Chains A and B, each alone.
Chain A
Amino acid sequence: MHQFLQQIFSGLAAGAIYASLALALVMIYRATDLVNFAQGEMAMFSTYIAWTLVNAEVPFWGAFLITLVVSFVGGMLIERVVIRPVENAPVLAAVVVTIGLLLIFNSTAGWIYSYTVQDFPSPFPDRPLFGALMTTRDLGVIAVTLAMLILLFVFFRFTATGLAMRAAAQNPDSARLCGIRVGRMLAIGWGLAAAIGATAGIMVAPVLFLDPNMMGGVLIYAFAGALLGGITSPVGAVVGGLIVGVTENLVGTYLIASQLKLTVAFALIILVLVFRPNGLFGTAIVRRV
């Protein structure tokens, strides 16, 4: 029983990591209808920027804020410069572009910072909780993820910019007719996603340790979690991420040998999607004739 609880709590801790990146994925999908495969690498790169600042004796929260701003601006620039040219091109062209971005960020990080694993400081102390089921650090990750979720929810529902962004994504032409600067909304969407990614990276680096390949595995699970929850739903992203984390742990321990864990976990996720093809909380993609 104790082991069962431990597996669940470890799963929740890992799931929160996936959920935080999944939020960024959902953000970009809602804003621009694209899956950004480079999201993980962008988050990793932002984390390296924070790491450089911390090493230069900048206090943690200062480094965090600077990194957020830099990531936001960077995300906007990437949307304007890199993504804009393929926005009206076939979807596959945009997919290839995001994959290209992934390679560029990963390779450049490896070149600048080498592939040695680095330490990263955490704002949360590392104390055990609930009798060694979890640490305060894991709880911190969960708390920050939930906080981002709430902020996003509020943003989309209750602010003018959020509303404008939703309009621009759903129906760009009508939105333009209403005076919404669609281009700017897209850029802001990417900027916000980059900032979310940066937060995710900074929260996660103390747990996973910082190296250029830190986010590779996380992206795959975050992608699965985001789709499981519904690619258009931030709540879905968080729930999906947590479910993926827990499922993966339970499958590996109770269902099948750990060597097939990844395979079986994905098979289960796909099974769920067979019954709910748009994810648990997603809205159906309606095709009009």
Chain B
Amino acid sequence: MTCRPALSRRPLLSAGAALLLAASALPALAQTKAVSVTAIVEHPALDAIRDGVKDELQAAGYESGKNLKWEYQSAQGNPGTAAQIARKFIGDKPDVIVAIATPSAQAVVAATKTIPVVYSGVTDPVAAQLVKDWKPSGTNVTGVSDLLALDKQLALIKQLVPNARRVGMVYNPGEANSAVVVKQLKDLLGKSGMTLVEASAPRSVDVGAAARTLVGKVDVIYTNTDNNVVSAYEALVKVGNDAKIPLVAADTDSVKRGAVAALGIDYRDLGRQTGRQVVRILKGEAPGAIASETSSKLELVLNATAAAKQGVKLSPELRQSAKTVLE
């Protein structure tokens, strides 16, 4: 501490200039960068995104506590708190704010036009008005969407249940992400002469009852990453097993819990993808020059036991294209 004022009091101007030069020539990594992360609520998928971002930052040489000031805040489900977290982050002026899930992302984007924002885990960032379109925004916002290309999901359904005509879907009508999927899936199914039968579950406890209303009306039940459905997936499995209706999920974790198959996103991986955008911004790229992305990696997971219970045969081709087959 005491040597510092002594240094700056050196009479030699040239020495001071040399010091300045040396400081500016230091590699960017030596400076401490600040990344602030917020999510609307604690949730396995959202937490996995957060951890993935941290993984990627570490892989790029940013280590928390050394050259990275990492902060994480959860709004614990409260929109007022989400708004306050947004204000706090803006006051802290980090290098990048990572906002996970739609309400948190909207609160942050509404509050700053200058600090770089990377959203993640938002299914439709355009409908949420985070970005104008999927191209580089030219603003302070970019990010990674967890939108699943539904044509691939439909292809999987057709492969599993080739003569499926009626697809059932259980979802929470109050979840923005699910509403997007329902609308798109309806259009897509219509094009190939199939129909969507909806069953709404506004609360987790409604999932079982909603699934039961589909019995006899559908050939297969598809679910997206709806929070209510995922948290009560066992209720769905019971109905699927009892009524021999095959279940197709959108997250690989649900396959372990009893779905036949899922072509899904690994959310930790989505977090890493988000982290790569963060690193690009930390290295000096403008967020407005980076296009919004969707998940680059999908993996197929199958469950042979569930397939037997729900009356589906897993074809050898399907087994081959799967990353994992649970027996």
Are A and B interaction partners?
Answer: no
